[in-house]
Amino acid sequence: MNPSDAARQLQYAVASQADTYDYEISHWEAHAYEDVFAEVADRGDLSDVMNVVEELGDRFVDGTRPSAAEARQIADGVLTAGGRPLTDGGEN
């Protein structure tokens, strides 16, 4: 999944949780996480990207928004779930 598609999925997830047709997350806010989505897509798979989208969406409550640093922590947690390494398993 490309990062902009993941950002749109985050917008939809937040809107559906709020049970509204109006986006609760702005275009800018969603795209602020694109670097995180790109990294997860490179290091993981579609399921990992969707897990990050879901976790970020769950944290959009009462007007609070996860920071980019928090998004990166969430991504690292998803990528290391079950002991999955943070590297590609190369020589280093």
pLDDT at 87: 56
CA-based nearest residue to 41, from 83, 82, 9, 65:
9
What is the rounded CA–CA span in Å between residue 66 and residue 72? 10
**Residue tagged 């959009």 (tokens):** 60
Residue 33 inside a domain? The answer is yes
Query: What pLDDT does 84 receive?
Result: 55
How many structural domains comprise the chain? Answer: 1
Structure tokens at 32: 């602020």
Q: What is the pTM of this model?
A: 0.72
The whole domain housing 33 covers 3-82
| Per-residue pLDDT, 75 | 92
Domain assignment of residue 92, yes or no: no
Write down the pLDDT at residue 85.
55
Give 6's contacts (C-beta < 8 A, 6+ positions apart): 33, 34, 37, 41, 49, 52, 53
